[in-house]
């Protein structure tokens, strides 16, 4: 059953259409990757979903209930992690978490243990340190911690790794991987590698319009057949045989071998047999999986044609 | 409401704003009395050392009231204005609003908390300043009209709130610090200019509070005129809070 349903969402700024008839569905306990280029409309969508800005038209349902402007009750059920979180620098991490805890109206007797548990969950050991002295990675951990204080039904993350170095990114991805066991994660990013690591489903937005929504498994398997082949013999000879075979759609030379595309697995086997019969000595032969990045680039190219 | 008030109080405490305003109020109170009492002597002494022998008149308690309201009107009010606008705008200018309003916090409480805290801080500071001022004035001049002074102070308090809430109203719609600060400052100057319009019902208008507290302390103004202007200033502040609420509720958080 769906947790968040967005139908026909539009947002206009004057004559500029920031969002144009965006429709998407996010299921319970799924990690939904919301991908798109910078300026595609990801953050605007998130701000509307957070009821921080008013929509021009469209319907948003959370757990079957419409989300209205400045919807306080709905915010009890969600957690939000921005791309570059900004905290009051004079507060300590524990003070900010205590404030968050109180803002959600939770049981004061359990405040201390909840703060300790959440800080441990995001591996942030500087609870008593002022936030002004935090690194970006520490602030991002704190942003995740404060979003988890009330165990939300859905965690909304707006490019949480975009401002981090590779180690910081890895840490945040590991945290998301753990979190998606217990809650829905709505994860916006333009770093496709990160989305591929954690997301079950992907929605691609471009120029304010949804291009597609697909399961990650479908994206990885539903693709043209690309193989990599390297042989002991000179590459020129291999390329000549590929031409003779006639069923190879396109090929590129890379890493001392050839990466090529065929229509189906029969053609792939046929080409391999032809090469073996011709006396080639094969060093490497593997099917190449398409990455989310490949799909992204393909779709955008098609969309701009 | 309690949560957001605690959040604002922590800022007030950690950034020492309360101490700064309090210390300024107490300093100006003491300074006002001392200046009133001894300034003429200092002038006499300075001139005598230059060979000019002029006898200055003996200062009266009225000089003390004049110094107090001049200092508070020109120094204290300005400091309050800039501190208050920074307090109103910092969550937006520092980018805290998205995280704040991703929590179930009411925008109404957010505005009310800011208005409440600044109003209370100014009130407490003025009362503490009044105690110091009253004590030293009585000590140095042997007289102090407590009731009259407190009513004059009430008028000044209403004037401060009116100026400060102009800053609140503009900050509810603005993303910058300077627009609300300059708007409030602009109202202060306009109010000072409008004091020349003192005929008919215009004499009851709140802008006269730029001058009335001092005039009243000197015994040159009817109590009813001061109270009308004060009541209208409070009412105007309340209207500005209501308008701020409406404006802030309708504005995008980001």
Query: Among the residues of chain A, which ranges form H helices?
Result: 42-49, 72-75, 93-103, 111-121, 136-148, 166-179, 192-198, 216-221, 235-245, 265-277, 292-304
Inter-chain residue contact A72 with B105, CB threshold 8 Å? yes
> Which residue from B6, B7, B99 is facing A86, i.e. has the nearest CB?
B99
Residues in chain A closer than 8 A to B5 (CB atoms): none
Q: Which of A53, A104, A147 sits opposite B254 (nearest CB)?
A: A53
What is the side-by-side strand order in the sheet with A2-13? A16-27, A2-13, A57-62, A65-66
Q: How far is A191 from chain B (nearest CA, A)?
A: 23
For chain B, give every domain's residue range: 2-250
Show residues of chain B in contact with A47, CB under 8 Å.
Answer: 98, 252-254
B105 touches A: beta carbon within 8 Å? yes
B253 contact residues in A (CB cutoff 8 A): 47, 52-53
Touching check for A106 and chain B: CB below 8 Å?
no
- Encode chain B (254 residues) as per-residue pLDDT tens digits: 899 999 999 998 888 888 899 999 999 999 999 999 988 888 888 888 888 887 778 889 999 999 999 999 999 999 999 999 999 999 999 999 999 999 999 999 999 999 999 999 999 999 999 999 999 999 999 999 999 999 999 999 999 999 999 999 999 988 899 999 999 999 999 988 998 888 889 999 999 999 999 999 999 999 999 999 999 999 999 999 999 999 998 888 88
Asked whether the beta carbons of residue A80 and residue B99 sit closer than 8 angstroms, the reply is: yes
Token output for A31: 């990690």
Q: How many CB pairs under 8 A join A and B?
A: 73
Please tell me whether the overall predicted TM-score, pTM, comes out greater than 0.90 for this model: no
Q: Where are the beta strands (DSSP E) in A28-110?
A: 31-35, 57-62, 65-66, 78-81
| Per-window interface: A 58-87 vs B, CB < 8 A | 70, 72-73, 75-76, 78-80, 82, 84-87
In the sheet where A201-206 sits, what is the strand order? Answer: A78-81, A154-158, A184-189, A31-35, A201-206, A209-215
pLDDT tens-digit readout, A20-68: 999 999 999 899 999 988 889 999 999 999 988 889 999 999 999 999 8
- Hey, are the CB atoms on B94 and A103 less than 8 Å from each other? no
Domains of chain A by start residue, with CATH: 2-219 (3.40.50.300), 225-289 (3.30.70.100)
Residue of A nearest to B97 (CA): A86
Between B3, B94, B98, which is nearest A52 by CB?
B98
DSSP line for B41-59: HHHHHHHHHTT---PPPPP
């Amino acid at each position: 059953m769906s947790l968040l349903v967005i139908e026909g969402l539009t947002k206009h700024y004057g004559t500029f259409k920031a969002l144009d008839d965006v429709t998407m569905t996010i299921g319970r306990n799924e990690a939904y990757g919301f991908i798109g280029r910078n300026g595609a409309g990801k953050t605007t969508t998130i701000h509307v979903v957070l009821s921080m800005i008013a929509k021009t038209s469209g319907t948003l349902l959370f757990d079957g209930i419409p989300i209205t402007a400045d919807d306080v009750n709905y915010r009890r059920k969600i957690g939000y992690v921005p791309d570059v979180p900004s905290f009051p620098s004079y507060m300590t991490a524990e003070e900010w978490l205590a404030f968050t805890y109180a803002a959600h109206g939770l049981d004061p007797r359990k405040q201390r243990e909840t703060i300790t548990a959440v800080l441990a969950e995001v591996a942030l050991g500087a609870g008593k340190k002022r936030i002004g002295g935090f690194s970006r990675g520490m602030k991002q951990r704190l942003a995740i911690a404060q979003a988890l204080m009330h165990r939300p039904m859905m965690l909304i993350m707006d490019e949480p790794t975009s401002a981090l170095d590779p180690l910081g990114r890895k840490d945040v991805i590991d945290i998301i991987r753990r979190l998606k066991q217990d809650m829905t994660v709505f994860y916006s990013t333009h770093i496709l590698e990160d989305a591929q690591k954690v997301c079950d489903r992907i929605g691609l937005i471009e120029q304010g319009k949804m291009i597609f929504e697909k399961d990650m498994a479908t994206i990885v398997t539903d693709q043209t057949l690309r193989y990599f082949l390297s042989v002991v013999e000179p590459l020129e000879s291999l390329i000549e045989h590929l031409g003779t075979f006639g069923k190879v759609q396109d090929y590129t030379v890379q890493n001392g071998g050839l990466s090529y595309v065929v229509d189906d697995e029969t053609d792939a086997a046929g080409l391999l047999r032809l090469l073996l019969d011709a006396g080639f000595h094969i060093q490497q032969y593997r099917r190449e999986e398409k990455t989310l990045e490949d799909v992204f680039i393909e779709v955008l190219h098609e969309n701009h044609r | 409401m309690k949560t957001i008030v605690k959040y604002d109080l922590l800022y007030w405490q950690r950034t020492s704003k309360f101490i700064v305003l309090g210390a300024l109020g107490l300093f100006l109170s003491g300074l006002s009395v001392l200046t009133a009492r001894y300034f003429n002597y200092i002038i006499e002494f300075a001139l005598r050392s230059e060979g000019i022998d002029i006898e200055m008149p003996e200062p009266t308690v009225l000089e003390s009231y004049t110094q107090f309201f001049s200092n508070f009107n020109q120094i204290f009010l300005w400091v309050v204005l800039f501190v208050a606008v920074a307090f109103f705008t910092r969550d937006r200018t520092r980018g805290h609003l998205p995280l704040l309003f991703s929590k179930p916090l009411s925008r109404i409480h957010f505005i009310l908390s800011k208005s409440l805290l600044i109003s209370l801080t100014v009130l407490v500071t003025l009362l503490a300043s009044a105690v110091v001022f009253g004590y030293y004035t009585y000590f140095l001049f042997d007289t102090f009209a407590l009731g009259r002074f407190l009513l004059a102070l009430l008028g000044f308090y209403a004037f401060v709130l009116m100026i400060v809430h102009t800053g609140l109203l503009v900050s509810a719609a603005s993303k910058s610090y300077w627009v609300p600060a300059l708007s409030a400052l602009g109202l202060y100057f306009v109010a000072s200019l409008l004091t020349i319009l003192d005929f008919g019902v215009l004499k009851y208008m709140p802008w006269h509070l730029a001058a009335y507290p001092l005039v009243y302390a000197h015994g040159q103004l009817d109590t009813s005129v001061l109270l009308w202007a004060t009541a209208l200033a409070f009412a105007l502040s309340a209207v500005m809070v209501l308008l701020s609420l409406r404006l802030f509720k309708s504005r995008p958080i980001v």
